Amino acid sequence: MTGRTEPASDMTSPGRWHRRHLLAIEPLSREEILTVLDVAAAMKEVSQRDVKKVPALRGKTVVLLFFEPSTRTRTSFEIAAKRLSADTVSFAVSTSSVSKGETFLDTVLNLQAMAPDAIVVRHRSAGAPYFITNYIDACVINAGDGSHEHPTQALLDAMTVRERLGRLDGLKVAIVGDILHSRVARSNIFLWHKVGSEVWVCGPPTLLPPVFRQWPVRVTYRLEEALEGADVIIVLRLQLERHVSLRFPSIREYFQRYGLTRERLKYAKAGVLIMHPGPMNRGIEIESEVADGPDSVILYQVSNGIAVRMAVLYLLLGGATVP
Amino acid sequence: MTERLLIREGRVVDPTQGLDDFRDILIEDGVIREVAPRLPTFPEAKTLEARGLIVAPGFIDMHVHLREPGEEDKETIETGTRAAAAGGFTAVACMANTTPVNDTAAVTQWILERARTVGIVRVYPVAAVTRGLRGEELTEMGELVDAGAVAFSDDGRPIRSTQVLRCALEYSRMTDRVLIDHCEDPDLTQGGAMNEGYYSSLLGLPGIPAEAEAIAVARDIFLARLTEAPVHVAHVSTRAAVELIRWAKQKGLPVTAEATPHHFTLSDRAVYERPYDTNLKMNPPLRTDDDVTAVVEGLADGTIDAIASDHAPHRLDDKRVEFDLAAFGVIGLETAVALALDRLVHTGRLSLRRMVELFTVGPARILRLPTPTVAPGRPADLTLIDPDQAWTYRVAESFSRSRNSPFDGWTFRGRAVRTIVGGQVVFEVSSQPAG
């Protein structure tokens, strides 16, 4: 999986970070992933202070360009930017000129004219962040593009696991649900493969087509097999708002086969970490007793999301030293 | 006064005559008068020194979208045929998906009249199979052929109903014209943006499976058997389709096929290597490396009868958008011959003679046109090729009105350097820098 290149940063970046954009996990090296996680750990300390703010990105402007509804990710990026003293501007689809028929390109060109330092973009089309990089000088951060990638989600998942289990390698990570349409699954698969853990993917065959056998994962349609001895379980959101209705007969049967329940958890290791990128469909992909249970780290993920996004903004925008 | 042009010392490659040798060619008033190893010079004749060049019968691109009438901001008959001439083509067949659709004799006649006025090369209109390309009612095929249509196609849209296609095939038999089908199962491809496979899964793009083509090709082959009507498969892109067509030909069924330069050059890996480049989005999509190999094998062994560009001009605004929203299609008239030389002939995968066949006799036979040959009495439509000239394609300098080529900046070995239609030089490479 080589071949994709990005222009190297012309900024002075700390440590081993030389990228101008964060578009995907797939082109990152293990070392780059660890750099983000190390910086994120330092950033987490900032969030625990009384005054949760450092001047690292003072004078920088971060645009949050969200073409899809999102509360958690947008808020998380916004808090992250503000804790680094950057100015943030939200550009949400409902309040923008996109609803007046402006093209994506024109929106991007107009933003470019306002000279932001970073653009955080969420878009329904895979590749939209790549498109932006052709027209804009700002750093581009992918906050989820169609069914492609959601790199900061995988990074915050990894941060959570490293905090809890003290390691990233040698683990069994099970990802359950709509693998085909999931950007969270793609980013996580690449990440866990790169850091030396074994990834199992599981879901109904209509949402997990045979092409995934060409990926560095183990594929199973039986949830029990995916959970067997698992250290980490990532439950994906069943995206009922997308066209998945043809692909399984009923939510009832989906829950029967792939819902994460207390009974099924016994296949996993004791102390397994249960994660979900949110928002959850309780009673569909995960039962509430599991989501709220002792093994769930779902809310820690949310906290770590801020730290990871601070780290990414900080690395891309070239803060001089780790605060 | 008689207008004479003498082409001297060219290497004439003419598959129909089995000729591959040096000949002088004398053209008088647009007609080939004499072809001989050595002809005397006429004092008043213009002379064209063709030493080092290949002289072939005029190349035909049987699958082109000229966009006129209706979408003149993408292409016109004038700009499209100028691009054709620059690519070495002396004739093009233009598809019916214009506005209005070429589904009546009036539109066919209008296209022919417009081509006579502003066209640079010959234009052969392809008429629609069904009214408005809606896949429901047949067009008046008899009148369309009388008006000058050379074939029928709803290209761009597969004919969804097998029953409608059966009727169209049966009815078209009275015209002795071929039906060109865009073979694709529309239910399977719905929403797809690129080939379904490893790279679409990496990029998170909805896929168009190879089977969508194979299923439609299989259907068409069996309808050809049922109706005994000729079927031509447009832009074959998959190994499965090549193998099905090979089987059909072995059974003696009236099935022919074409392939495009982008399908014998690029694979879906390119969409990953040039992430989300919309100039790599076309329908059928770029397939796998194995499919590319199969298409080349099909061109070499006679399974595929013609190379056609599927020249599909699009506005910048329809390509400078998100990948899944971008228009399907690429321009290709100016790069088709160069790609065939560079990628197929110079790599030893295709003989020069076979390449010439694929651009001349192949399409002519399918479209029921006179056999292109360099012989006395024939119209002087000739394509002159410098097989070794190195050159770089710059889409900014294209004669097409559109710029949606995936080959911008590519350097090729070999190109058409003169295009002659009816004895007139309609294109020549102005300078020929040494390769």
Q: Could you tell me the CATH number of the domain that includes residue B419?
A: 2.30.40.10
pLDDT, tens only, B219-264: 999 999 999 999 999 999 999 999 999 999 999 999 999 999 999 9
B322 and B391 together in one domain: no
Query: Is residue B267's pLDDT more than 50?
Result: yes
Q: Which of A247, A24, A272 is nearest to A128 (CA)?
A: A24
In a domain, B195, yes or no: yes
B240 and B315 together in one domain: yes
Whole-number CA gyration radius for chain B:
21
Of the three residues B367, B387, B402, the one that is the final residue of a domain is B367
Q: Could you tell me the CATH number of the domain that includes residue B238?
A: 3.20.20.140
What domain range is B413 assigned to? 4-55+377-428
B50 and B135 together in one domain: no
**Pairwise CA distance, residues A243 & A237, whole Å:** 14
CA dihedral A49, A51, A55, A57 (to 10 degrees): 80
The beta-carbon neighbor of A127 closest among B198, B201, B323 is: B323
The beta-carbon neighbor of B203 closest among A3, A126, A209 is: A126
The beta-carbon neighbor of A125 closest among B198, B272, B322 is: B322
Contact B203 A148 (CB under 8 A): yes
Residue with tokens 């989300």: B276
In a domain, B354, yes or no: yes
Q: Which of residues 72-101 of A touch B (CB under 8 A)?
A: none
Position B317 confidence tier, pLDDT thresholds 50, 70, 90 = very high
* pLDDT value of position B65: 98
Structure tokens at B246: 């090979």
* pLDDT value of position A11: 34
- CB burial of residue B251 (10 Å; 0-12, 13-18, 19+): exposed
Could you tell me if B170 and B198 are in contact, meaning their C-beta atoms sit under 8 angstroms apart?
no
Residues with Cβ within 8 Å of A41's Cβ and at least 6 positions away in sequence, in order, are A159, A307
Contact A127 B202 (CB under 8 A): no
Contact A211 B198 (CB under 8 A): yes
This prediction has a pTM of 0.94
Residue with tokens 């005029």: B58
Structurally, how many domains does chain B consist of?
Answer: 2
Q: Which of B103, B101, B82, B84 is nearest to B93 (CA)?
A: B84
In a domain, B264, yes or no: yes
Specify the DSSP class assigned to residue A282: B
* pLDDT value of position B127: 98
Contact B275 A127 (CB under 8 A): yes
In a domain, B291, yes or no: yes
Query: Is residue B334's pLDDT more than 50?
Result: yes
Structure tokens at B1: 């006064």
pLDDT, tens only, B138-161: 999 999 999 999 999 999 888 999
- CB burial of residue B44 (10 Å; 0-12, 13-18, 19+): exposed
B264 and B395 together in one domain: no
Q: In the predicted model, what is the mean pLDDT of residues B385-389?
A: 97
Minimum Cα–Cα distance from B209: chain A residue: A211
**Pairwise CA distance, residues A234 & A203, whole Å:** 12
In a domain, B161, yes or no: yes
Of the three residues B334, B367, B400, the one that is the final residue of a domain is B367
Position B434 confidence tier, pLDDT thresholds 50, 70, 90 = very low
Minimum Cα–Cα distance from B272: chain A residue: A4
Judge if ipTM > 0.90.
yes
Residues of chain B with Cβ-Cβ distance to A214 below 8 Å are 198, 201
pLDDT, tens only, B68-120: 999 999 999 999 999 999 999 999 999 999 999 999 999 999 999 999 999 99
B93 and B40 together in one domain: no
Structure tokens at B46: 């213009």
B139 and B93 together in one domain: yes
Determine the distance in angstroms separating the CA of B103 from the nearest CA of chain A, rounded to an integer: 33
Q: Is A282 a catalytic residue?
A: no
B16 and B81 together in one domain: no
B247 and B152 together in one domain: yes
Q: In residues, how long is chain A?
A: 323
* pLDDT value of position B431: 57
B186 and B310 together in one domain: yes
Point out the catalytic residue in the list A35, A73, A152, A160: A73
Tell how strand A198-202 and strand A172-176 pair up: parallel
- CB burial of residue B289 (10 Å; 0-12, 13-18, 19+): exposed
Residue B328: half-sphere exposure toward Cβ, Cα within 13 Å: 16
B66 and B148 together in one domain: yes
* pLDDT value of position A95: 53
Contact B203 A127 (CB under 8 A): yes
Point out the catalytic residue in the list A122, A123, A194, A237: A122
Q: Is A269 a catalytic residue?
A: no
In a domain, B435, yes or no: no
* pLDDT value of position A81: 97
* pLDDT value of position A168: 98
Percent of chain B with pLDDT over 70: 99
Q: Which of B310, B385, B302, B387 is nearest to B342 (CA)?
A: B387
Is B375 near chain A, with CB under 8 Å?
Answer: no
Backbone angles phi, psi at B150, to 5 degrees: -100, -15
pLDDT, tens only, A36-74: 999 999 999 988 999 989 999 999 999 999 998 888 999
Best B187, B188, B196, B201 member to test A by mutation, with max A CBs in 10 Å, is B201
B25 and B163 together in one domain: no
Determine the distance in angstroms separating the CA of B323 from the nearest CA of chain A, rounded to an integer: 7
Could you tell me if B35 and B10 are in contact, meaning their C-beta atoms sit under 8 angstroms apart?
no
Determine the distance in angstroms separating the CA of B193 from the nearest CA of chain A, rounded to an integer: 11
In a domain, B153, yes or no: yes
In a domain, B126, yes or no: yes
Mean pLDDT, all residues of chain A: 90
The beta-carbon neighbor of B273 closest among A3, A125, A214 is: A3
Of the three residues B348, B367, B386, the one that is the final residue of a domain is B367
Where residue A141 falls (left for φ over 0; alpha for ψ -120 to 50; beta otherwise) is beta
Query: Is residue B297's pLDDT more than 50?
Result: yes
Mean pLDDT, all residues of chain B: 97
* pLDDT value of position A94: 60
B160 and B77 together in one domain: yes
- State which residues of chain A have pLDDT below 70: 1-15, 93-100, 242-244, 319-323
The beta-carbon neighbor of B275 closest among A4, A104, A243 is: A4
Residues of chain A with Cβ-Cβ distance to B191 below 8 Å are 243
